[in-house]
């Protein structure tokens, strides 16, 4: 029998330099990823804020329309003036404005300084988008009540 030679160590593993380089690269990528995620997470609340603000503005606008329907059912000749006064006195919110408008031949609104128009444009300011509705005095005196 031949004497057995000592075995050479396996060269299939990683060297210490390779392991350190891998850890270093992984840590750099981790820092970049955490930095990116932190920025994305902090900005993700902006969409929620916009939706909440718009929902609150829609609720204010729905209340204005409901009050206008009530005032129209009580006395259609004074409903627009009462709504303009309520909005000016900030009954609904500070971010609500109302102006009397007419429309020119091209369909563009013309803001009037006095209440001679039969159309009141109500705007509820919100982050991102303002909500707007037109309230009109177009009912005859003997018209049936408005259902809401």
52-66 pLDDT, tens digit per residue, is: 888 888 999 999 999
pLDDT of the residue at 46: 76
Range of the domain at 130: 15-148
Q: What does the pLDDT read at residue 141? A: 60
Residue 1 covered by a domain: no
Is there a domain that residue 10 lies in? no
pLDDT at site 3: 63
Please give the torsion angle defined by the CA atoms of residues 56, 58, 63 and 68, in that order, rounded to the nearest 10 degrees.
150
pTM of the model: 0.64
Ranges of residues in the chain with a pLDDT under 50 are none
- Residue whose entry in the numeric block shows the structure tokens 């075995």: 7
What was the pLDDT predicted at 11?
65
Distance between CA atoms of 47 and 120, rounded to whole angstroms? 31
Considering its fold, how many domains does the chain have in total?
Answer: 1
Half-sphere exposure of residue 83: CA atoms within 13 angstroms, side-chain side: 35
């Amino acid at each position: 029998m031949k004497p057995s030679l000592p075995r050479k160590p396996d060269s299939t593993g990683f060297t210490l330099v390779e392991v350190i380089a891998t850890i270093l690269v992984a840590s750099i990528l981790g820092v970049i990823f955490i930095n990116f995620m932190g920025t994305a997470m902090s900005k993700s609340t902006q969409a929620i804020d916009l939706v909440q603000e718009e929902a609150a503005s829609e609720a204010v606008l729905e209340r204005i329309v409901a009050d206008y329907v009530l005032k129209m059912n009580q006395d259609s000749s004074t409903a627009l003036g009462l709504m303009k006064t309520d909005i000016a006195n900030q009954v609904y919110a500070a971010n609500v404005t109302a102006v009397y408008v007419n429309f020119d031949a091209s369909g563009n609104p013309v803001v009037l300084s006095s209440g001679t128009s039969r159309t009141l444009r109500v705007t509820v300011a919100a982050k991102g988008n303002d909500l707007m509705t037109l309230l009109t005095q177009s009912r005859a005196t003997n018209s049936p009540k408005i259902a809401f």
